[in-house]
Structure 1
Amino acid sequence: MCAFAQGQSQPQPGPPVRPDASANQPHDVYLEVMLNGERSALIAQFRELNGRLSASGKDLDNIGLAIDRLGITETAEVPLDSIRGLHYTYDAARQRVTLQAPDAIRKPYTFDTRALTATPPATSSRGFLINYDAYAQSNTDAQLAIWSEERYFDPAGVFSNTGTAYLYKNDHRYTRYDTSWSTSDPATLDTKQFGDTISSSLAWSRSVRIGGFQWRSNFALRPDLVTFPLPAFGGSAVVPSSVDLYVNSVRQFSGNVPSGPFIVNNVPGITGGGQATVITRDALGRTVETSVPLYVDTRLLAAGLSSYSFEAGFLRRAYGLDSFQYDPKPALSASARHGLNDYLTLEAHTEATSGVYNAGAGALVRMGMAGVLNGSLSASTGRLAGTQASLGYELIEPHFSIDAQSIRAFGNYGDLAARDGSPVPTATDRVTVAVPFFSTQTFSVSYIGFRYPQAQPSQIGSVAYTLNVGNLASVNLSAYQDFRQRESRGAFLSVSFGLGNNTSVNATVGRQNGQSNYNVNASRPPNYDGGWGWGVQAGNAGASPYRQAQVQYLGSGGEVTALAQQISGRTTGSLDLSGTVVMMDGSVKPSRRIYDGFALVSTDGIAGIPVLHENRVIGVTDRAGHLLVPDLNSYQDNRVGIDGMKLPADARIDTTTMNLVPQSQSGVLAHFGVTRYSAASVILQGLDGKVLPPGATVRHEESGKETIVGFDGLTFIEGLQKENHLVVDSGALHCRVTFAYTRPDDGSLPTIGPLTCLSKVGDVR
């Protein structure tokens, strides 16, 4: 016989009082939970008094009720009868409670379409590298120039220096570009840099080169972080269902949800306006389809997210010409952005140096599906006093887009760049309208206008039409006109073909400023895995015909490009060498150019072991057991492994794969700890010349390890020394074997014997 209690949001008469005394005392019960007719596989703790139940806020949250929406704290003890909309049935005999809850008080099942496995902390080994690009040209005074980057890295950060050495006929010099030390913290998403840097800027401000200090936010330290607002789509499933999400008719996500409300977060795959459709299907195949419009702009910051940058130092002058020319007066610059909500992002920027002080604020506002409006207002005081205002608008739709921006400066408005000799434009206008149609064609119209103080203004309009024929060919027709200089105009027709095998052909004809020109070229760059590439080109720029041919070779140690060209009858040749030299783990390794993270694989001196990057074989270890793996993604998982089947038979290894997460511009030592062990199969026989029977116990005295004799008198012995002693014990059989061992050079596991087991210590027969 079962006892039941029915709980509702309104008070109900309780069940008859049970005869046992404990019925009048509150006590804990642990019950199986059923929610809206479905078993939840959850055992929850409740408090019972006379058939009525209460539970803690934490347990209600685990069951799936939205306690934040109900105003319930995790520590609160809540009678189920007091929760509006909740009905329950308590089956004491089966130790089960069945809850009926509307979607309004249930937690939605939430899943993130961009959810990634947590990335381990980024690491760096200690090392040094030199990136280089050497260019030599014949028949000129500029005979040889060598650009180089010297980079030291360790777990604390990266030191980098760049510059070019000019070894010309009458000019030998070295020009330094940038020198800096940088360190990053993925926990706080910031980077600090000491030395030469470029100041931050917004769409309505300008960057300058500064030698000093920079502290800035760096979202690249978290590649999985979505910095702009993304829509969330919700729905409700009566029974467990599958969910498909389509954005502009392209499926972006598919998954399964339990019954009840659900939310799909962080939907990727679109920039601008579009249509999202959520389709749920239950076990019987019945579908429910819901469509909503959406608009995504990557310039906005997600609600609550902030970015910042602060620089202090001295303005760099004559960059690329002078190695150490800085303005003697200190300068400051700072920028900040904050996502107030999914519709509004605020911006601010300020600059200061001797005689110039500049500050401004701006905002980006998403107007629903009507696009994003941006604007700013800034002012400067001191020797350069004035104001600047900007206004812009962008709308991206599947069949139409417009991007417009206008900036006006009034008075003698100035900033750090103007203080250093680059005046602020008094007017900047930009408008682009694009109309895609028939999915393969695009027509666009653009206008760009600039006006500088005491300079001829420029106003250029252009039109372009593009036709794509699958992946095989494309046609582009364009024309421009400078409205301030009537004779400055041009029109061009370009056709490109893809011939397969990474080979392409392009032809362009046009007329510019009253002169006709054409260009025809064909090329096949080297494959990423390495090999040969080539290119040929011919054309005529007005009255100057030119011809060019080049051949490239890309290897694991770098890239070589040889080029011959003829311009107006003058022939020259050039040779370009680029690559990297890495010093790590006591070795010096040449490599193709390294831009970001990389790994040095070590197999403890074992050569010829294939190395895999993302399950692709990229090379084998050299005689020192090393192979360099370039092009790893910093702050992301990179799967690197070795082919364990190619290891020597006497080699042991704990793992053959690693997930490497290098810091930016740093290298990681991927040490696959390979140990060599001395072992052999030994054939044992008795004095009668017959092999010992299976099952006999064998003890190796030097290592203390025990094993047994197998079929054919074979036993496998590990930990062998130069001299070895075996003790055999099998019932009435007690004997010893002594033998010498030398490890084979080829890493094989030899078979020794047959060896005669003697009853007394003596020589092996």
Structure 2
Amino acid sequence: SAAASRGPRRDGAQWTAGYSYAARRFSFAAEHVRRSPGYRDLGTFDLARYDGGRRSTRIVATVNIPRQGSFGIAYLDARSASGNAARLISASYSRAIGRYASLFISGDHDLARGGSSAQLRLVVPFGRNSVGAGVSHNSRGTLAQLDYSRSRPSDGGLEMAVSLASDRQRDLYGQMSAGWRGRRIEVDAGVAVTPGRQAVWGSASGSMVMLDRHIFAAHQVNDAFALVSTGVPGVPVSYENQTFGVTDAAGYLFVSQVSSYHGGRFGIDVLGLPIDQTAETTERRVALRRGTGAVIAMPVRTAQHVTLTLTDEAGVPLEVGGLVRRSGAPDSEVGWDGIVFLQDIGSHS
């Protein structure tokens, strides 16, 4: 493939050649990329001091043997525009142990500098919690490590990571970090300890956004954002099929993490609403530029529904299966004893 970019005082091009093959038990991929110093893409065009790679070669092969695990080997040769070079070769092996644990072994060698390293790790997950232990060795010595982590739920909450390590001199190294994500703020804190030194850090981030003449407190906005408007409170809102929250007392929900240049799916769930509330649309796809926002209206309104008993001139209920047709509304079917349910008669009377 070939690509080109053009900008103020910098033009460039990129050429890529590659091959990949994937089967059930074997996969292989090779890629070579060359680019001129002035080349930029969407991920790097606004980085003033970007030192992109001038060329790179990557070769990866994996073999999966049933009940024995997966073997892999990789080679990387890369050179940046400033002349920095890296040539690495690595090999790895992984397999499941029992129903839950997994074993990982890897080793790599730096062909440019002559250094080597290896590591062995055993990981056992427990739901959102995970415990791991490992041993690594490089030119500076051997290190034994014990890890614990707890992942954060997608809708917010607590996450935590603790890591302890010790070398042959029994020097202790440790790091602990924790984070909490609420609806409007994100807080992170941690501590790191090495022989004779320690460091503590913490941060809190959020944002204030004015949209549709309302002010919203939300997480830090790093890309695009959106304001979902339904007009009624308590309506569940989802973005890309993941529940993001429910609308507030004014019928709004601010979505602070929207991927730019992508037609994202916004939806509302009306199944739990009262029977007299309805929405004309429950899903919209919207693409936004980076740093911009939009109001996405999916209004929920109050509708009138009635249950009628239909009879003929003699007062006998109409037969089951008959249809009641209204202009601009879906047909309604007559049930037992002539009973029919008509939805939203206010707008289709």
Q: Same fold (TM over 0.5)?
A: yes
Counterpart for residue 387 of structure 1: none
Q: Which secondary structure does the structure 2 equivalent of 1:528 belong to?
A: coil
How far residue 431 of structure 1 moved from its aligned partner, in angstroms, is 3.2
Counterpart for residue 331 of structure 1: 10
Q: 1:655 aligns with which of 267, 272, 279?
A: 279
Structure-to-structure mapping, 1:220-299, within 5 angstroms: none
Counterpart for residue 627 of structure 1: 253
> Using the alignment, how far apart are the partners of 1:405 and 1:575 within structure 2?
41
Query: Compared with structure 1, are the counterparts of its residues 549 and 454 closer, same or farther at alpha carbon in structure 2 (3 Å cutoff)?
Result: closer
Moved more, 447-456 or 635-644: 447-456
Q: Which secondary structure does the structure 1 equivalent of 2:102 belong to?
A: strand
Counterpart for residue 399 of structure 1: 25
One-letter code of the match for 1:610?
A: V
Q: 2:138 aligns with which of 483, 507, 512?
A: 512
Counterpart for residue 46 of structure 2: none
How far residue 611 of structure 1 moved from its aligned partner, in angstroms, is 2.4
Q: 2:90 aligns with which of 438, 448, 462?
A: 462
Query: Compared with structure 1, are the counterparts of its residues 564 and 668 closer, same or farther at alpha carbon in structure 2 (3 Å cutoff)?
Result: same
> Using the alignment, how far apart are the partners of 1:393 and 1:616 within structure 2?
35
> Using the alignment, how far apart are the partners of 1:395 and 1:484 within structure 2?
29
Structure-to-structure mapping, 1:360-759, within 5 angstroms: 374=17, 393-405=19-31, 415-416=37-38, 429-438=57-66, 441-449=69-77, 459-469=87-97, 472-486=100-114, 488-500=115-127, 502-540=128-166, 545-594=172-221, 598-604=225-231, 608-613=233-238, 618-631=244-257, 634-642=262-270, 645=273, 655=279, 657-664=281-288, 665=290, 666-671=292-297, 673=299
Query: Compared with structure 1, are the counterparts of its residues 589 and 578 closer, same or farther at alpha carbon in structure 2 (3 Å cutoff)?
Result: same
Q: Contact between 2:279 and 2:300, CA under 8 Å: does it hold in 1?
A: no
How far residue 475 of structure 1 moved from its aligned partner, in angstroms, is 1.0
> Using the alignment, how far apart are the partners of 1:460 and 1:493 within structure 2?
19
How far residue 653 of structure 1 moved from its aligned partner, in angstroms, is 5.5
Q: Which secondary structure does the structure 1 equivalent of 2:206 belong to?
A: strand
> Using the alignment, how far apart are the partners of 1:399 and 1:534 within structure 2?
36
How far residue 503 of structure 1 moved from its aligned partner, in angstroms, is 0.8
Q: Which secondary structure does the structure 2 equivalent of 1:661 belong to?
A: strand
Counterpart for residue 263 of structure 1: none
Structure-to-structure mapping, 1:144-223, within 5 angstroms: none
Q: Contact between 1:474 and 1:495, CA under 8 Å: does it hold in 2?
A: yes
How far residue 613 of structure 1 moved from its aligned partner, in angstroms, is 2.5
How far residue 568 of structure 1 moved from its aligned partner, in angstroms, is 2.0
| TM-score after normalising by structure 2 | 0.66
Q: Deviations over 1:132-167 (max 9, x none)?
A: xxxxxxxxxxxxxxxxxxxxxxxxxxxxxxxxxxxx
> Using the alignment, how far apart are the partners of 1:663 and 1:628 within structure 2?
16
One-letter code of the match for 1:332?
A: D
Q: Contact between 2:79 and 2:85, CA under 8 Å: does it hold in 1?
A: yes
Unaligned segments of structure 1, at least 5 residues: 1-200, 203-307, 314-329, 335-348, 350-360, 363-373, 375-391, 678-765
How far residue 509 of structure 1 moved from its aligned partner, in angstroms, is 0.9
> Using the alignment, how far apart are the partners of 2:244 and 2:85 within structure 1?
54
> Using the alignment, how far apart are the partners of 1:590 and 1:620 within structure 2?
15
Q: Contact between 1:642 and 1:656, CA under 8 Å: does it hold in 2?
A: no
Query: Compared with structure 1, are the counterparts of its residues 332 and 481 closer, same or farther at alpha carbon in structure 2 (3 Å cutoff)?
Result: closer
> Using the alignment, how far apart are the partners of 1:642 and 1:421 within structure 2?
47
Unaligned segments of structure 2, at least 5 residues: 40-48, 304-349
How far residue 476 of structure 1 moved from its aligned partner, in angstroms, is 1.0
Q: Deviations over 1:691-725 (max 9, x none)?
A: xxxxxxxxxxxxxxxxxxxxxxxxxxxxxxxxxxx
How far residue 435 of structure 1 moved from its aligned partner, in angstroms, is 1.4
Q: Contact between 2:51 and 2:82, CA under 8 Å: does it hold in 1?
A: no
One-letter code of the match for 1:416?
A: G
> Using the alignment, how far apart are the partners of 1:469 and 1:663 within structure 2?
44
How far residue 522 of structure 1 moved from its aligned partner, in angstroms, is 0.7
Q: Sequence identity of aligned pairs in percent?
A: 23
RMSD: 4.2
Query: Compared with structure 1, are the counterparts of its residues 406 and 554 closer, same or farther at alpha carbon in structure 2 (3 Å cutoff)?
Result: closer
Q: Deviations over 1:642-673 (max 9, x none)?
A: 567459xxxx7551752121223454424455
Structure-to-structure mapping, 1:314-353, within 5 angstroms: 330-333=9-12
How far residue 618 of structure 1 moved from its aligned partner, in angstroms, is 4.8
The structure with the larger Rg is 1
Moved more, 592-601 or 549-558: 592-601
> Using the alignment, how far apart are the partners of 1:667 and 1:414 within structure 2?
35
Q: Deviations over 1:328-376 (max 9, x none)?
A: xx23235xxxxxxxxxxxxxx5xxxxxxxxxxx77xxxxxxxxxxx4xx
Q: Deviations over 1:299-318 (max 9, x none)?
A: xxxxxxxxx654221xxxxx
How far residue 515 of structure 1 moved from its aligned partner, in angstroms, is 0.9
How far residue 506 of structure 1 moved from its aligned partner, in angstroms, is 1.9
> Using the alignment, how far apart are the partners of 2:110 and 2:242 within structure 1?
52
Q: Contact between 1:579 and 1:593, CA under 8 Å: does it hold in 2?
A: yes
